Amino acid sequence: MLEDLRKVAVEGFVPILRDESTKILQDLCNKNQPKNILEIGTAIGYSGMIMLNASKDGYLTTIEKNEERYALAIKNFDEGGFSDRVDVILGDAMEVLEKFAENNRQFDFIFLDGPKGQYVRYLPYLKKLLSVGGVLFADNIYFRGLVKSEGKIAHKHRTIVNNLRLFIKNLEGDMDLNTQFLDIEDGMSISKRIK
Ligand SMILES: C[S@@+](CC[C@H](N)C(=O)[O-])C[C@H]1O[C@@H](n2cnc3c(N)ncnc32)[C@H](O)[C@@H]1O
């Protein structure tokens, strides 16, 4: 089913996790066996199923803004037999994160894969939502290599690139988080909340 989903995503131009990133996410969930997972950016449920498959007792809360993808994700989770282990939320991630933080929700694994220009804005909320010992995994942090490039950045990408640079700087400077950066595919960060 995962192979089929990958095909559907590629054909419909839905951006989903690349191969190496998928393996890393799978390994992290296998190793940490999270019970309460939060995902920002469901798309059609591909990465969600990877996490649910790898985390035997994991429950996934996942946020998607696009109505069509949200509906398709629900259908796919259903067909995959995961409907009782997932809550797919239709909405803007920032609004949902604010609400979760107000309600003191806690997650032991967070996969950040929503709008790249917003990562830095989400970070304080994600940190609040991440339990001590939990892991925050963020994809696309080097955004097509542009974040590490020393050249001039085209106007259309400048805000995303600047925001991602600030996101990385904030992760580096946060002593409550132990962060590892991986220069694989589009770049990833793995942060463990140590206090
Ligand atoms: C890279 S895709 C997610 C891929 C998915 N995690 C996977 O690997 O299968 C990013 C998703 O974030 C959604 N998105 C964009 N802005 C959003 C927002 N403000 N709030 C929630 N979701 C958003 C997009 O519609 C898109 O489906």
User: Tens digit of pLDDT for each residue in 90-139?
Assistant: 999 999 999 999 999 999 999 999 999 999 999 999 999 999 999 999 99
Q: Could you tell me which of 40, 64, 37, 42 has the C-alpha nearest to residue 53?
A: 37
Binned at pLDDT 50, 70 and 90, residue 50 comes out as very high
**Alpha carbon of 45 to ligand 1 centroid (Å):** 10
**Alpha carbon of 140 to ligand 1 centroid (Å):** 12
Under 8 Å between Cβ of 36 and 58? yes
Q: What fold, for 2-193?
A: Rossmann fold (3.40.50)
Cα dist from 165 to 8, 52, 93, 157, whole Å: 32, 30, 20, 12
Mean per-residue pLDDT, 164-175? 98
DSSP string, 78-111: HHTT-GGGEEEEES-HHHHHHHHHHTT--EEEEE
For ligand 1, whether the C-beta of 114 sits within 6 Å is yes
**Alpha carbon of 57 to ligand 1 centroid (Å):** 24
Mention every residue, 6+ apart, whose C-beta is less than 8 A from residue 152: none
User: Tens digit of pLDDT for each residue in 147-166?
Assistant: 999 999 999 999 999 999 99
